[in-house]
Each structure stands twice: as C-alpha cells, then as structure tokens.
Amino acid sequence: MLSRVADSLFWLSRYIERAENTARIVDVNLQMLLDFQRMDDEKIKDHWQSLIKSVDEEELFDALYKKPTSESVTEFLTFQSENPDSIVSSLSRARENARMVRDQISTEMWEELNRMYLFVRSKQARKQWKSDPYGFYKLIRDGSHLFQGLTDSVYPHDEGWEFIQLGRHIERADKTSRILDVKYHILLPSVRDVGGAVDVVQWSAILRSCSAQEAYHHVYVNSVEPWKVAEFLILSEDFPRSIRFCCQRVDASLRRISGTPEHEFSNEAEKCSGRLLSNLNYSSMDDIFASGLHEYLDGIQRDLNRIGSAIFKTYFFYPATDLENEIRTQQHQQQQTRDHTSPATS
Amino acid sequence: MRLSVLHRTVYTYRQPVTDSVNEARLRPLDHPFQDCLTFDLRTDPPSTFSAYPDFYRNTVHVFEVATPHRALTVESRSLVETRPPPLPPDNQDFPFEQLKKSAWDLACYEFLQSTELVSCGIAAWRLAVDLVPKPSDVQEAAFALMRGTYRTFEYCPHSTQVHTHMDEVLRLRRGVCQDFAHVLIGLSRSLGIPARYVSGYLFTQPGPGALRGTEASHAWCEVHLPGWGWLGLDPTNNQVVDERYIRVALGRDYHDVPPTRGTYRGPESREMKVEVEVRSAAPDRNQKPMG
Amino acid sequence: MLSGRYATEGFFDEMFMADGQVRPHYRRLMERFSNLSAEEFLQKKQAVDASFLRLGITFTVYGDEEGTERIFPFDLIPRIIPDKEWRLIDEGLTQRIIALNMFLHDIYHDQRIIKEGVIPAPYILSAKHFRREFMGFNVPRDIYIHICGTDLIRDDSGRYLVLEDNGRCPSGVSYVLENRVAMKRAFPNFFEAAGVRPVDSYSSDLLQTLRHIAPGGKEDPTVVLLTPGVYNSAYFEHCFLARQMGIEIVEGRDLVVRDAKVYMRTTRGLEPVDVIYRRLDDDFLDPSVFRRDSVLGVPGLINAYRAGQVSLANSIGTGVADDKVIYYFVPKMIKFYLGQDPIIPNVDTYLASEEKDLKYILDHLPELVVKAANESGGYGMLIGPKASRSEIADFRKKIVAEPRNFIAQPTISLSRHPTLVDGVKAEGRHIDLRPFILHGDKVRIMPGGLTRVALRKGSLVVNSSQGGGSKDTWVLYGDE
C-alpha cells in the first residue's frame, strides 16, 4: 500500500478519535459543574484551567481569551480553528486526509465524515451547542461511532484497516491517560481526601468521560474509588478504552502489518509497542502508585509518542511534503565569481 | 590552440539536502574549428551520468544525488583543440534584403523570436536603429551593434542576476557577459538578423590587456550572415570570436544553456562557488596536473 | 414525448429526417420510448441523476474555493450510430491516429515534413507544446499518442468532420462507461434487443495498451496512474479508471527516482514502477526539467524516461498535435505519410498567420468561429454570429497582435438530437462526439464515445464547463 495512503488512513482515524475524545472531555466537565454546589468564580476558573492544561494549550488560550469560563473554554475546545486540537480542527483535518484517499474509502465513510464536518461548521451547530450542549456533544460522539462502525463493516480488513486501527487506538490510549492525569492533579493536594464526596464526583466523571461507568460497576460492584478507577482505566484487559486494551490492539495491528510473530519485533515501532505492552501486562497498581501515577502516565504518553514516530519512520518515512516550499532550483550563474577580476582594458 | 579547462562548481547547503537532480552542459562542442579531445566529469558525492544531445546538439549530462548531502561539487576537465574560425571574405556583401529568407528558415526562425530572457520588441529596436540608422549590410550592422553594446553598457560584475531579462539590462545600462550577449542578440533580432547565444570559455594571458570574462564561464553570441553562416561576436570585449574562444553550448538565450541546472529537496539557503581555469596546453610540453 | 410536435427546424437531426420520419436506426428506440408514459420517463431520469450524485460522478468547477462538485447533466435519450456510419468513423480515426503518430515521430527526428515544405518550420518551432528536449528521442514502440480523444461533429448535411484532436490527456471516458451503466439500469433488457455494441472492454483494452509499452517488453509490468491530485477536475475519472484497471493511483509525491529508475513509496518500501499512465501535462511532470514551480511532478522522472527505465502514456511532446494550427495540416499529413485522402475531413480552417487568410478572417469575423490555437474546453473562442460588437472588436485586436495564436472556421450548424427539456418535452439540441482511440499493439476504438450536448437552446458549445451535458452513445451491430 502506498505510504501516503497509509499515512492518510492513520491520521484520518486519529483525528476522528481525537474529536470524539475532546467531545467526551468537554461534555463531562460541563456535567461536573452541575454536580458541584456553591462553585465560586475562582473554583470554576480552576476547574477549566486544568482542562486547558490537559491539552497543553495554555498559551494559545490566554492569547485568545480573557479568562477561562465555561463558555470560553468549551468554545476554545469545540469551535476554535486556531486551536489545532479543537473538534472543528480535528474534523477538518480528518476530512482533508479522507479527501486524499477518497478513492480508497467507501462512499458511506466519506459521506458520514463529510456530514459531521459540514455540521460542526454550520450556524445550526452553534445554536444547538448553546441551547443543548449535551445533545451537541452526543452528536459528535455518535458521528464518530457511526464512522468507526462503518469502517468495521464496509472497509476491507486489510493493511489499510490496520493503519486505521493503529491511529484510533494510539489516540485513544493517549487521551485516556491524559484524562486520568488531569484529575490526578486536582486530587493531588491531599491524599486524605480520598473517599470524600467531591472525590467521588470527580472520579465518577472520569469514568463517564470514558463511557466506563457501567463497565466499571460490573467489575467493582460498589463504590467509586480512585485506586480502582485508575486500575480499571489503565490495566483492564477487556475494557475498550483502557490503556492496556488499546496497547494490545496497537501491538496486534503492528504485527499484522509486518507479519511478525508475537514476542518478536522487526522494527522500532514493534519494539516500543511490545515493551509498553509488557510493562502494562506486568504492572500492578501498587507498582504504579509507588512510582507515582503522574510519572507513570507521563511515561506512557512518551512511549505512545515514540511508537507514533517509529510508525512514521517505518512506514511513511517520506512525509506528505510541501513540495512547493521544498524543491529548490539550482542554477549556476555565469560570472558569479568575478569578484577579483582586474578591470578590463577598453 | 590546445587549451585545457577546469570548471568546478561547489554548492554548500546549511542543512542536508536530498533528491538533487541536475543537468550539466559542460562538454565543449565538436565542430569544424574545435575538437574536444578529452572530457571528464565528476561530482562529489559521486554519481553516475547519462548524456543526451539536446535540440541544439549540445551535450547534456544528467545526474542525480539522492542521498542526503551538505555539499555538491561538479567538476569538469576538458582538453580542447581550437582553430581560427573563418571570417567572411572582405569583399562579400550581405544586403539586408537577403534576411527575408532567413525568417522562414528552419535553422534561423527561432533565433529571430523573442525568447524567455531576450526581447526583440520596441525598446531593443529603438536602441538598434540609434546605433544603425540606415542598415544596409548585415555584417556591418552587426559590428555596429556590437560596438554600440560595448560602449553603451557598463561591465559590472554582480549587477544582475542569472534570470535578469534583457529589458531590465536595457534600463540598467550595465551587466555581465550574459547580459551583453542578451543585449546584442535582442538588438540583432529586432533588425531581423538571426542571433544565438553561446556559452563557453575564453583564454587570455593574465596581466594588463587581459580580457573580460576569463575567470568564469563566458558568454557571447553568433549572428547569421545570409548565405555565409554564423559569425561569433563578443560584445563584452568588442571583438570577433577567434581561436581563444571555446564553445560549450548554444541556444536561444541563457535559459537553453546554463552550465548546471537542477532541483533538490531541502532548505533554500545555499552558497555557490565557481572556479574556472583555462590554460594553454601546448601538446609538446608536459603539463602539470591542475587543481 | 417524441410526438409530432418535435421540429427539426431545418437542422440535420440525428433521429428524424426533414420530413419528420424516424431514421431507420432509431426505429426500435422510438417504439420502446412510445410505450413509456411521461411519468415513467421522469422517474427514470430522477433515478439516474440521483445515482450519479450518490456515486460521486462529478467534476469540479474551477474558480470556487471549496471546489464545488457538480454532476455532468445526463440526457436519457441515447444517440445512435448505425454500423455503416461507425465503420467510416473507425477507419477515419484509425487513419488519423496513424498519421498523427508518424507526424510526431517525424518532427522529433528527421523533420521530413518540414524539409519537404509541407509544413513551414515556424509553425512547428512556435507550437506551444513542441518539446525541444525530446528531439531525437525514441519513444517506446514508436508510439507517441496512446490514448486519443478526437472530437467529431456533423454538419447540416450530416457529414462527419473532425473538429479537434486531444492527444495529451483526453478525459471523459469515465462518463461514457458510467452513462452506459446508468442506461442499462434505467432500461434493462433493452440493450440486447436493440443490438447495441458493448463498451465495457475499454478498461482492459487501456490496460493492455499500457502494458504493451512496458520498458524492454517486460512481461508483468507495474502500471500506475499519475494524477495531479484530488483538486483536479477529472479526479473522479482518474480514480474510476485506476479502480477499473486495478492499478495504483499515485500523486507525484508518491514517486521517487533512484538511479534513473522510478519507484513508488509503499509501506513495504520502494516498489518499482514500469509504466505511468499520466494524467498530468508535460509542463508539470518533472520540475528538474520543465516548470520549476511544479509541485505535482517527480524530480528525475524525465531522466528515467529518457533512460528507457519507465514508459509514459501519452509520450511527451504530443501536444503539438493538439495545436489548432497544426490541426490545419492533418489532411496534408495523411497525404504526405500515407498517400491517402482523409476519410473524415477537417472543418475548413483559416490561419491568421497567413496573410491572405488573415485578411479574410478580419473581413468576416461576424460569420466565423475563431479559436485560440492552444485552448480547449470552449475557452478562448469567438462565435461570430453570436458575439457582440465589442467582443468582435476585442478579438480583432487579439488576432492582429498574435496571429500565430488564432485560427478561424466557418460557423458549422452542428447536427441536432432530440433532448429532454423541462423534464418531459423533447427538443433539438446541438451535439458532438468524442470517440476514444487506443493505440497499443493495435489501434482499438471503443464502439461509442462521449456524445456531448449543448443543453441551452441554440447554443453550439457542448463543454461541461459551459453548460453542456452528455448522452449515452449507442453503436449498433447493424444498420437498423
């Protein structure tokens, strides 16, 4: 398969997953505000500040908005085209990538993506976002699910499909780790607060942003405990949004692409992913908390980045370059070196 | 005259570049008054060459350097035997009326048109008729245009670019040999005299009386005298081309014959150094290796 | 719908004779259509339109930032060509493509046709697409134009004439194939009864043509289609053909050249490419040789081509034959190279660069059609009888300034064909025909072609960018 096509499929899928995750995060944070009583402005500000931090866009946000409010932050994460990770930006990029491989994907996939893209850029989208944000973010999530469902059911499960899976699962693992990491920050000041009312709300919210509440309660019947939530989202073997689950998928896709058997590797990407997976397979929550949850999650994000760039080097090595700015004309000028020529006779 | 030529071009880049694909027109032509005895072309990083004759029968070498590199050297060495080109007999007239036939001639037609860097439009024509108010003999007119170009324009290194159009030179009134050649070509064509561009080398003894255009590749032009043929004129030095001139490539203007040309992938910032050495290589004397 | 109200209005009508009688080769269609109610017909039309839109059988309209995609309007009444006419077309086009190939070979080699005074040198040397770089180059199997789209028209007596040749990257064949699919869906079971020759072998014929020119006669060559990319107006067609042939569709950035060999970048590393069906004009193919600013091309591709390591279809420099001034000389070429008279004549043409012709053109502008020598798609054209005074004055200036760039032809009243307007009414509209000619191991002409129709009443311009539509073209096994 052409590298350019594989590259576009990978990013197409990654951007859609990104849009979905951003929608989840914003939605849950909005809902959380409802759960809190007596939030003063300062608290609200803190609440949103942490969200901006989770996407590493504090500077950009400060340049564009006066202060973090529910409206400004959700606008920033949803519609702001300057923000490369906003839902609108993610969907635009997903569509751009889909256009590049329009001949490779099915009409249904293209139409669904195109519909989402046209919707988020419409006036109607803004209107709905104002009047019914939950409904709005649900539409984004549903769109992504429909797209993924279509991909599974109409796209041939060949090499291209594996690249789509890779993009989706790397992105998802990364986002789950970020969601956990942010809340970890909030909860950090006092470990003794663990088990308090605020805490339960916060950790429930995390589960909700990963659509994991029901699944969690299947496993842990009773209470929502930070320890268990973290364990569930990091180490669950079968919950599809857990980091471990996603890494299993990444590893499996990489192996199917190259045909390398398990426990071996044929390139850097497989080496990184194999390592990360066995780390997850052989970790317990005790180890994780002992090394520090934040540090642990940070390490996972770094590993995921490493896998991403190794995939790039292995399979897409020639990037979709901007030839216009890259190809230079080389021409040799006559008389270029005549600096020291003595004056000519007449 | 036996002459040896070393022509070295070095490009250096700030960052490594890749996929460099280039054409070189560096091999001296073979024709009745010039034999290219030996020719050696090398690059560093090394590459393999393929060669083809272009539309004007110039030899074009093509080479690519795909792997990342920070510098590219293109070096040619040639040994050439030149003989004095014949001149039209003193008593022969070339009346202007005979030019009409050239206009439809396969060999002349395109050397009468405006081309990428040369225009034979109104500006050129005005200057041409100033210099030759009543054209009657083609050869006389061509000489007058050469003299006029030499006197009107200031020879001034670095005053122009490789892509400077002749019209711009007409405004600036100065330039390098490439521009002098373009001007004389434009003026000639504006009067209906076919004129073509020649790139090559000029041999001269250093010291007082040295000619212009000897330390790099040189350029001049050839005009077509009806019924006789092409006559080389060097407007930069105001003289008829003789055995000290080595012809490398000819075309409609510079664009047809750049010594090297190509593209690469990478950042724009780049430096270029060109070195040309033309030496007498008397066949009976042991020549020290050059470079 | 095709009842007595239909009027030929003095034009040559493809379906009806002047006395209102149906021509024999349209009789079966007439019978079938008479059995349909207006509602049924409308329903079929809507179904066909909807399927075109859904499938994305569209072209991009330039000058629109978002790249608006529109469907190429399709008319449900097919154009029918009887066998005896088709045989003439087939022979005429075969003769023409052979002569054009000999001409291209000649001007890039010995230039006999110039030296023997048939075509004056300046016309070749000043042709915009004459590629000096390929002088003396031997193209694979000596074929220059592998895929040609030659536009034919019929005049008021029904005589077929050649309007222009497209020997660079002719497009439109995907519409021919899709139109046929749509018609079959709309009128199942009718095709066999009507004795219509199939067109579906085009893709495999094209692939065979492309494989024929593989370097060194390679047995199982890798063929790719090189597209300018998704923003090109014919991108749909590129995808369509690539998919039909089962070959990779690539952009310039997917290809690299190493040691004068062409490779595509795949997830398994570099894979060699042998034949490139390029839908990219010469100018953009290789920035190291042609346009420096081309971002669509492949640096080094031309060197690889010259080295015989990769084959291109069509070859480089075929655009000379598209030049409308050179078109004027095609009948002379046929005579010169083949010693034959052209089977399908040209439209009478005047060259503005010939003094006598120029005078005639300038004196008769309001009657003539003036065309720029190197434009297509209905651009750069003056239709004298329909032009305003200022348009004519404007063109007069342009012609005088650049006579080499213009030709003129008498205004031909193109043949007309019943065409649906406002849903159910049939009216005569002007049409042309672009058959597709493949020149590989032999010359193959798809029995059919793109019939374009000027949907605006009275209009003579059939181009899609200027309000044209298309019809399915039926070539019959017999004459009825």
Backbone φ, ψ for residue B141 (5° rounding): -60, -45
Q: What is the percent of chain A where pLDDT is above 90? A: 43
Rounded Cα distance between C288 and C458, Å, is 47
Residue among A3, A110, A323 whose CB faces C295 most closely:
A323
- Asked if residue A342 belongs to a domain, the reply is no
Given CA atoms A316, A317, A321, A327 in this order, what sign does their dihedral have? negative
- Asked if residue A49 belongs to a domain, the reply is yes
- Asked if residue A17 belongs to a domain, the reply is yes
Give CATH for domain B2-83+258-280: 2.60.40.2250
Model confidence at A333: pLDDT above 50: no
Q: Is B218 on the interface with A (CB under 8 A)?
A: yes
Number of alpha carbons in the 13 Å side-chain half-sphere of residue A12: 30
Per-residue pLDDT band at A320 (split at 50, 70, 90): very low
Report pLDDT for A190: 46
Is residue A313 within 8 Å of A259, Cβ to Cβ?
Answer: no
Of A155, A190, A209, the position where a domain reaches its end is: A155
pTM: 0.84
Q: Do C230 and A102 touch (CB under 8 A)?
A: yes
Give the pLDDT confidence of A76-86 residue by residue, as tens digits.
999 998 999 99
Give the least confident one: A285-294, B3-12, B211-220, C31-40. B211-220
CA distance B177 to chain A (A): 7
A:315-344 residues touching chain B, CB 8 A cutoff: 321, 323, 326-342, 344
Q: What pairs with residue C453 in β-bridges? A: C431, C469
A6/A146 same-domain check: yes
Report pLDDT for A192: 46
Q: Is C287 on the interface with B (CB under 8 A)?
A: yes
A59/A25 same-domain check: yes
Residue among B161, B219, B261 whose CB faces A330 most closely:
B261
Report pLDDT for C4: 59
For residues B217-237, average pLDDT? 94
**Cβ neighbours of A332 in B, within 8 Å:** 9, 162, 258-261, 272, 274
Report pLDDT for B47: 93
A147/A185 same-domain check: no
A5/A150 same-domain check: yes
Is residue C345 within 8 Å of C383, Cβ to Cβ?
Answer: no
- Asked if residue A335 belongs to a domain, the reply is no
A89/A200 same-domain check: no
A179/A261 same-domain check: yes
Residue numbers of the domain that contains A177: 173-315
Q: Do C299 and B106 touch (CB under 8 A)?
A: no
Query: What are the Cα distances from residue A146, in Å, to A89, A137, B104?
Result: 19, 14, 69
If you measure CA to CA, which chain B residue comes closest to C258? Answer: B66
Model confidence at A38: pLDDT above 80: no
Q: Is B152 on the interface with A (CB under 8 A)?
A: no
A187/A280 same-domain check: yes
Buried b (16+ CB within 10 A) or exposed e, C191-215: eeebbbeebeebbebbbbbbbbbbb
Rounded Cα distance between C147 and C142, Å, is 14
Give the pLDDT confidence of B244-257 residue by residue, as tens digits.
999 999 999 999 99
A104/A28 same-domain check: yes
Q: Is B102 on the interface with C (CB under 8 A)?
A: no
Q: Do A345 and B208 touch (CB under 8 A)?
A: yes
Q: Where are the domains of chain B?
A: 2-83+258-280, 96-256
Of A155, A181, A216, the position where a domain reaches its end is: A155
Give the mean pLDDT per block of 10 residues along chain C (480 residues): 75 92 93 84 83 64 50 88 97 97 96 94 91 91 96 95 93 90 86 89 96 93 93 84 91 90 91 96 88 82 94 95 95 97 96 94 94 78 90 93 92 92 84 96 95 90 80 93
Give the pLDDT confidence of B99-114 residue by residue, as tens digits.
888 777 888 999 999 9
Report pLDDT for C66: 46
**Cβ neighbours of C287 in A, within 8 Å:** 323, 327
Helical H segments across chain A, by residue range: 3-35, 41-54, 58-64, 70-78, 87-100, 107-120, 123-131, 133-154, 159-187, 197-209, 213-219, 226-235, 243-258, 268-281, 285-291, 293-315, 323-326
Q: Is B147 on the interface with A (CB under 8 A)?
A: no
- Asked if residue A219 belongs to a domain, the reply is yes
Give the least confident one: A174-183, B192-201, C61-70, C407-416. C61-70
Rounded Cα distance between C249 and A156, Å, is 18
Model confidence at B205: pLDDT above 80: no
DSSP characters over C258-313: ETTEEEEEETTEEEE--EEEE-S-HHHH-TTTS-TT-SSS-TTHHHHHHTTSSEEE
C:371-410 residues touching chain A, CB 8 A cutoff: none
Model confidence at A263: pLDDT above 60: yes
Helical H segments across C126-245, by residue range: 173-186, 190-194, 202-212, 235-245
Look up the ipTM and state it: 0.85
Please say whether the structural domain B96-256 has been given the CATH code 3.40.50.1820: no
Structural domains of chain C, ranges and CATH numbers in brackets = 201-313 (3.40.50.11290), 350-410 (3.30.1490.270)
Q: How many domains does chain A have?
A: 2
A3/A149 same-domain check: yes
Q: At which residue do the structure tokens 């490493």 appear? A: A306
Q: Is C246 on the interface with A (CB under 8 A)?
A: no
A141/A180 same-domain check: no
Model confidence at A191: pLDDT above 80: no
Is residue C334 within 8 Å of C342, Cβ to Cβ?
Answer: yes
Give the pLDDT confidence of B118-176 residue by residue, as tens digits.
998 899 999 999 999 888 999 999 999 999 999 999 998 888 888 899 999 999 999 99
For residues B255-267, average pLDDT? 89
A65/A144 same-domain check: yes
Report pLDDT for A337: 29
Per-residue pLDDT band at A198 (split at 50, 70, 90): low
Q: What is the percent of chain B where pLDDT is above 70? A: 94
Report pLDDT for B224: 95
**Cβ neighbours of B52 in C, within 8 Å:** 136-137, 306
What's the gap between Cα C94 and its chain centre?
15
Of A104, A122, A155, the position where a domain reaches its end is: A155
A133/A275 same-domain check: no
Residue among C55, C230, C264 whose CB faces A2 most closely:
C264
Question: How many C-beta neighbours within 10 Å does residue C140 have?
Answer: 20
If you measure CA to CA, which chain B residue comes closest to C120? Answer: B104
- Residue C158 per-residue DSSP state: -
- Asked if residue A333 belongs to a domain, the reply is no
- Asked if residue A58 belongs to a domain, the reply is yes
Report pLDDT for C57: 62
Question: What is the token pair recorded at B8?
Answer: 């070295």
